[in-house]
Amino acid sequence: MERIVAYSVVVPAICAAAQPQVAVPVKKLAVHVAAESKSPAERRFLPGAQEATDGDAFVLYEKAIRSLPKDLDWGPITGWRQTVVKDLPLEEVAASLRPFEASLALLEQAGKCRRCEWPLIVEDEVPANLRACRNMVLLLSLKARYHLGRGDYESCVRTLGTGFALARHLSAGPNVLHLLIGAAVSTLVCGQVELYVQQPGVPSLEAALRTIPRPLFDEKHSEIYGQDPKSQDEIRLLLRRANRHIIALQYIETLRSYTTKTGRWPETLDDLKAGLPADPVTGKPFTYRRPAETQAVLEGPVPEGGKAKDGIQYELSIVRDS
């Protein structure tokens, strides 16, 4: 289990006492107006009916894992995740990704499968296929950054979609552990979406985000009921946080589409005239305010029993491209 902690979200403790006021960490995003898409097809993260295949994604994930090169230095791969996109040494990144081409191709193929038959975990040891999810999503994150750096936005979206497909397949797994690892994968991919919207010239992901099922992670999964009551609350809180992260990004992309047309943020969410989903924590829309025409704040409160990191607060500003 120790190998998973490195990329899993820590499960918060639940207490019965009244929830104190906590300062939610602020994510500041300087977003660019959306560029006009050059692709005639609707952009999607997950495959449509015509793209989806009937194969078992698990078989392809297993092949992708076996295709991973052994004894390679993962240091640069993890380090470049912290590098500003415009500063990425693209030739070096491409050379580092080259040994993983077979695995990455299999991951993309797996993402198009309608089903994934994960084996039931019957022992305490974490299976190798789940331990490998960390490396798989790190590779996908770096590949997405590489495409961003090259200005190949369609390939970037396709790579991010492969990450969301992995999260979706994990969400349908038979054990709680599949759900938890899926939530961690989704969180990392969402972080790349936050990076995407801060790049100049990127098309909108509003339609692509709508292709992700809501909720992606089922808080009523049958395996959760086998846990003790405290663990059930902890697991559901973690899954809810992952679900609301995706929805918050849909709000941000809808807001970005509005600024593309008007050059300013809307005064209220009603100005968007869009059927945005509710915050899964409150059952209501996220809180929105506009301190200035070029600044906006999107907020979701800390759930009862949660910690500061379980809340959402985005400070959005508009970058006007020359």
**Torsion from C-alpha of 178, 180, 185, 191, nearest 10 degrees:** 160
| Buried b / exposed e along 270-305 (16+ C-beta atoms within 10 A) | eeeeeeebebbbeeebbebebeeeeebbbbbbbbeb
Nearest to 251 by CA among 265, 241, 237, 261: 265
Q: What is the pLDDT of residue 9?
A: 32
Nearest to 212 by CA among 270, 253, 155, 257: 253
List the chain pLDDT tens, one digit each, 322 residues.
333 333 233 333 323 333 455 688 999 999 998 887 655 456 789 988 888 999 999 999 999 999 998 877 778 888 888 899 999 999 999 999 999 999 999 999 999 999 999 999 988 788 999 999 988 999 999 999 999 999 999 999 999 999 999 999 999 999 999 999 999 999 999 999 999 999 998 999 999 998 899 999 999 998 998 899 999 999 999 999 999 999 999 999 999 999 988 989 999 999 998 789 999 889 999 999 999 988 999 999 998 888 898 999 999 999 876 5
65, two tokens: 């894992």
Alpha-carbon gap, residue 180 to 45, rounded angstroms: 21
**Contact of 250 with 243, CB cutoff 8 Å:** no
> Do you find a cis peptide bond into 76, omega within 30 degrees of 0?
no
Nearest to 154 by CA among 80, 45, 76: 45
Q: What is the pLDDT of residue 10?
A: 32
Q: Exposed (0-12), middle (13-18) or buried (19+): which is 310, by Cβ within 10 Å? A: buried
Spatial neighbors of 123 by CB under 8 A, at least 6 apart, are none
Q: Indicate the domain borders of the chain.
A: 2-319
Alpha-carbon gap, residue 7 to 184, rounded angstroms: 7
212, two tokens: 């992700």
- At residue 71, φ and ψ (nearest 5 deg) are 60, 35
3, two tokens: 């190998």
Alpha-carbon gap, residue 64 to 110, rounded angstroms: 9
**Contact of 79 with 198, CB cutoff 8 Å:** no
**Contact of 58 with 118, CB cutoff 8 Å:** yes
- At residue 211, φ and ψ (nearest 5 deg) are -80, -10
Query: pTM score, two decimals?
Result: 0.89
Residue reference for tokens 């790349």 = 192
Helix axis angle, 153-171 to 57-67, nearest 10°: 120
Alpha-carbon gap, residue 23 to 40, rounded angstroms: 44
